[in-house]
Every structure is written in C-alpha cells, then in structure tokens.
Structure 1
Amino acid sequence: MASHRRPKQPNRTRVTVLTATAAAAVALTSQAAQAEPKPSKEEVKAKVDKLYEEAEHATEKYNGAKEKQEKLQKQVSNLQDSVARGQDELNKLRDTLGTMATAQYRTGGMDPSLQLFLSSDPDSYLAKASALDQLSSKQTEALRKIQSKQRALAQQREEASDKLKDLEDTRKELGEKKKKIQGKLAEAQRLLNTLTAQERQELAEEEERANRASAERVDLGSSPSASSRAAAALNAAATKVGSPYVWGATGPNSFDCSGLTSWAYSQAGVSLPRTSQAQANAGTRLSQSELAPGDLVIFYSDLHHVGLYAGNGQVLHAPKPGANVRYESINNMPFMFGVRV
C-alpha cells in the first residue's frame, strides 16, 4: 500500500541562520577591507627604511660575532700547533730516557724506578716524585723535563678545548644573526612588492637621485683635518663614492657602514675595530662643533651606524641596503658624538 506521508521539508530556520552568517562574514570582510586601506608609497618607504635600520643594527652584531670567530679560530690554530710541537718534544724526551734505560740495562740491569716510568702507565710515576733521587742526575733531569712538558700539554689541551667550544657557540650565534638580517631584508622586499610597478620605479628614482647628487661636486668647505691619517682615510673613502652597500662587506668593492670606515683607515695605516660600537671607543670623543674632516661620526642611541665627517656638515658613509656610498647631511640621522682616532 503506497505511503501517503508528505516529503520532509528543509529546515528553514537553519537555512536562514546559515544565510545570515554568510552575509555577516561578507560584510565583515568588506568592513575590514575598508578599515585597512592599502598603505601609501610613503608609508611603505617609512616601514622599509625602518627594517633597513634594524637590519643594519643586526649587521653590526653579526660583524662583532664574525670578528670574534676569526680571533678564536686563530687562537685555536695556534694552540693546536703548540700542542703538536709539544707532543713531538715530549716524544723526543721519552726516547732519550728510553735510550738511557737501554744503556743501563746492558751494563747491569735497570733501576726499578725507571722500569716503572717506562711501563704501560708511565704517568703514574710522576706522582712518585720521591723516586727521582734513586736515579742518576742525568735521568732525573730528563724526568723533570718530561713532567713539566706533560703538565704544559695538559693545560694547552684544556685551553684548546675551551676555545673550540667558544668557537662552536660563536658559529651558532653567527648563523642566528645572519638569519635575522636576511629576514629583515626579505620583509622589506615583501613590502616593496605590495607597491605598483610605477611606485617602485618612483622610489628607485628617488634613491638614484640621492646617489647622483653625492657623485656630483659636494661643497665640503675648506676645514683642515685634525691629522694626516684622518685626511688619508677620508681621501681613501672618497674614492669609493658610488660603491654599493652590502651587509658584512669590508671592501674594496662594496661596504657596510663600519666596513667602509675600517677600510678607509686601514689605507692610512690605522687598524680600527670591526664594528661601529667598538669604533665608538677607538679614540677621543667629540661634540659636533669639534668635528674635523676624517673624524668618525657615530649615529643612533645604540651606536649602530658610523661614517666619516667630510666637512661643512656633510658625512661620507655607506647608508643602507639599496644605497651607494655617498655624502649626506649629518642631520639626516640622530648624531651621538664624533671620535678622533
């Protein structure tokens, strides 16, 4: 017998709720889009410049860790060479003592104390120093030399082990700082990619104008440098106007900020520390009114940027990623103090 039940009707209340929810979601999305308008070219540039500043700060930290790594690597190599030479000397001393023992055996037997020393565990003998008076003076002197060399080698091996651990920690630190720098630069590029092609071109042209203005004749005044080395450093840096900023670079074809200043002073025969923070303590501090051409100029409260005072209120520096070595007003950045090397 056929069923006379009516077909099940859809749940109109549920459909209505779902429809209302979907409509609300669309409305919220629309409101969010209206509440967060696309940032302007100027806003993007400000954010990118901030990221470049943070990347430069991280770069100086990276430079410091890299300098430490290089020093540790040199210390470890020297210690390892010293240990190798010391082991050779110790082996020769032991061979000499063995020759004495052989000669003694051939002439009538070996002293028990000497036998103990030449056993499979010779180091245990060193704790029995009282036995030295049982040997000849020549053998005693040989044993004392061996004892002294063993102690020195043990100390050098321990020092080398500690340095190797420091070196491994520093390498890990370098990797972390490199990753941080690359992250900042990648984020800056992501922001630039949100601009239209025309806006990116306009920003590139602004940067190029700044580079060209520096390459043209800049009025640096006629103030003399405080020393011949400062003048030589500034003259060397001036030959690098137009070279690109590259983080971690020390020349001769690209530079970061402290890479340029350390390279310039090296051309004048002066060795500067690698980082801007360390260069801030490389000489006598100066106020802005005391600056002379060739003096170092330190910027920002954390001292993460350095340049060379060029005269007439101008600083010669490697500014940031995407920019070239150039002259700019000293007032473009927060001045902290100058340093006369």
Structure 2
Amino acid sequence: MVGTYGALGVGPATADPASAPASAGEAVQRLIDLSRQSEQLNQQALNAQADLDTKVAAATAADQRAADAAATLDAAKAEIRRYQPVIDRAATSALLSGRTNRLTSLLVSNSPQQLLDQMSIVDLVGARTNDQLGQYQKATAAAAAAEASARAAADTARAASAAADAVRSDLESKRAALQGSMAQVIAAWGQLSAGDKSALAGSMFPPGFDRDSLLRGLVPGSGTSALAAGLTRVGDPYVWGATGPDQFDCSGLVQWAFHQVGKNVPRTSQQQSSFGTPVDEKDLQPGDVVFFYSDISHVGIYAGNGLMLHASTFGVPVQVAPMGSTPFHSARRF
C-alpha cells in the first residue's frame, strides 16, 4: 500500500501564510493550477524513469558484450601461444640455414629407398610446418579482430554507462521538483473548507450516465472491456505514481485497466500515445484511449458521448467526466 501522500512518498507541508488565497475560489483555482503542474512533473519523472530503465538495460547488455569480446580475445591469444613454439623453431632453423631439403637428402642417402624415405619425411615435416604456419596466421588475424572488437565493445559499454548516469541525474532532479510541487498541492488542499473539497471532488458520474447500457455487448479483450475494468475503480483516489489496484495516477489507471484484459500497455502517457493505432477525434468509440495537452501529460479512456474515465488530479477520485474542459491532443485504439 502506498503512503497517505502518494506513491512518491511526500510528507505533509504547510502553506506560506503570506501567500494565503484571498477567497475560496482563489484557493480552489490555486490548487487546480498546482495539481496540473504536479501532474506534468509526475509524467516527466515517470518518463525519466522509463528512459533510465532502458539505458541501464543497454549498459548491462554492452557490459556483457564487452566481457564476451574480452573472452574471445583471450582465446585468440591462447591460440597464438599454441603455435608460437613451432613458428619460433622454424624461424631459428631458417636463420641458421639448417633446413633439410631434397638436395640434402640426395647427398646423404645410401640407396634409392633411403632417398625416398628421407624425401617423404621432409615433405611431411614441410607440410606440417606450413599448415601450422597457416594456423598461426589465422590465429593472429583472429586476435587482431578480437582486439578491435573488444576495444569497441568497451567503448560502447563506457558510453552506455555514462548515458545511464546522465539520465539518473535528470530523474533525481525531476523527482525533487515533483516532491516540492506535491507538498504545495497538499498544503493548498489543506486550506480548503470541507465544502470546497467536496465541490472539487465532484460526482463520480455525470447526470444521466448509464454504465450498464454503455457496456452492454462488450467484446472480451477489447477497449470496452478495459473500460469496464476501469469503471470498477471509480471513486478510488488519485495518487502520484500509483498504478493500482486501489489508487492511481492518470496513466497508471489506463495501464491497469488494459492489463485486466490481457494487454500490456506502457507506463507513461507519452509512451501510451505511441501504442496501438491512431484514431481521429470524430471516430472515437468507447474504450479508445484519449490524450490531452501539448505535452501529452494527461490520459483517460473514452466513455462515449464526449465523456472519459480518468484519474484527474489530487483531491479528485477516479471518475467519469466531460472531455471538453481539457485540451484534446490525440487518441489511440489499443
């Protein structure tokens, strides 16, 4: 279970008295503005975490490739050492001009048979030396290639590790900004009266919304069945960074709903906006996923008739609400 103040664990904060709102309406508007900022920061932090996960995986894979390349280089060097004594002996023999040849065999032979026997041995020794020389040359070439590969793999591993470190630093910065923004939201919310808090939360369903007729005839595994799963969470609280099963941020609710029908959807609203297939706003059907704002920092599930199911912001539970008050960006069908 995530703590009272959310999946990212901020504690309660007190508002600056000098900045106290002049009216209840101003207090509510300030809370809405701060909540919007926090939602943006939340999605940015989630994106940074996803980016870090990707880069850490890349760095780990690069480290493994570097280790494999180093092992290949060691094996190539061992192969060179295996043939080195033969090459050294051949080089010494050539240097001392002591190599046996067919003429030498002829001069020291006492009979034709002995000559044939000696020539056969010379041919065998020569062929074997030549074969070993060829193997040595192959091993040397393989070692050179392995050394180049190991060097490149090591460079890639260092670059991947540096990229992960840079993203890790960015993530820490975004998390710190989110923590501060969350504290402001909680402090602003604490200044609202019970009536203002209730008005901010609103109703769970708009007037006339008929959940049963909407979901009648749904197709298992489809967007409408994901919508049906999501509708079971109406009334659950909005919590930054939460993915369920009983508290959510906007993209966490979408991910959870589609997971219930066997679809593995990405974590963040930006990632989700590239999943599935695009849908024009005029062609929206219940169960389509709808995205909002130019930075795609909010997401919900279309519920028909210009309505969406979403986890909107702190102090407002998961609910079905009109889409019109939120700047539409795009839609996808999962």
Could you tell me the TM-score, scaled by structure 1's length?
0.70
Partner amino acid, structure 1, of 2:141: R
2:214 partner SS: coil
| Structure 1: stretches of 5+ with no match in the other structure | 1-35, 113-132
* Alignment of structure 1 residues 118-267 onto 2, 5 Å: 136-193=133-190, 195=191, 199-206=192-199, 210=203, 213-214=204-205, 218-220=209-211, 221-222=213-214, 228-267=221-260
Q: How far apart are the structure 1 equivalents of 2:323 and 2:197?
A: 23
Q: Any unmatched runs of 5+ in structure 2? A: 1-18, 96-129
Contact 1:276–1:298 (Cα < 8 Å) also in 2: yes
**Aligned partners of 1:103, 1:69: CA distance in 2, in Å?**
52
Query: Does 1:75 find its partner at 2:58?
Result: yes
**Does the residue aligned with 1:324 lie in a helix, a strand or coil?**
coil
Cα distance in 1 for partners of 2:251, 2:93 equals: 68
Alignment partners' CA distance in 1, 2:89 and 2:56 = 49
Superposed displacement of residue 106, structure 1:
7.5
Distance across 1 between alignment mates of 2:261 and 2:93: 67
| Letter paired with 2:76 | L
| 1:166 to 1:329, Cα distance in 2 relative to 1, 3 A | same
In structure 1, how many angstroms separate the alpha carbons of the residues matched to 2:137 and 2:28? Answer: 78
User: How many correspondences in the alignment?
Assistant: 280
Structure 2 counterpart SS, 1:338: strand
Question: Deviation at 1:82?
Answer: 1.6
What does residue 126 of structure 2 align with? none
For the residues of structure 2 that align with 1:181 and 1:175, how far apart are their CA atoms? 10
The two structures, once aligned, show a CA RMSD in angstroms of: 3.4
Is 1:298 the counterpart of 2:291? The answer is: yes
Identity %: 27
Pairwise CA distance, 1:105: 5.4
- Runs of 4 or more consecutive aligned structure 1 residues displaced over 4 Å after TM superposition: 102-112, 214-218, 223-228
Match for residue 311 of structure 1? 304
Question: Contact (CA 8 Å) 1:225, 1:292: kept in 2 or not?
Answer: no
Q: Contact 2:289/2:299 (CA < 8 Å) preserved in 1?
A: yes
Q: Distance in 2 between matches of 1:63 and 1:228?
A: 27
Provide TM-score, normalisation by structure 2: 0.72
Distance 2:40 2:193 in 1: 25
Match of 1:41 in 2: 24
Q: How far does residue 276 in structure 1 lie from its aligned partner after superposition?
A: 2.0
Native 8 Å contact 1:234 1:294 kept in 2:
yes
Q: Distance in 1 between matches of 2:194 and 2:205?
A: 20
Q: Secondary structure at the match of 2:222?
A: helix
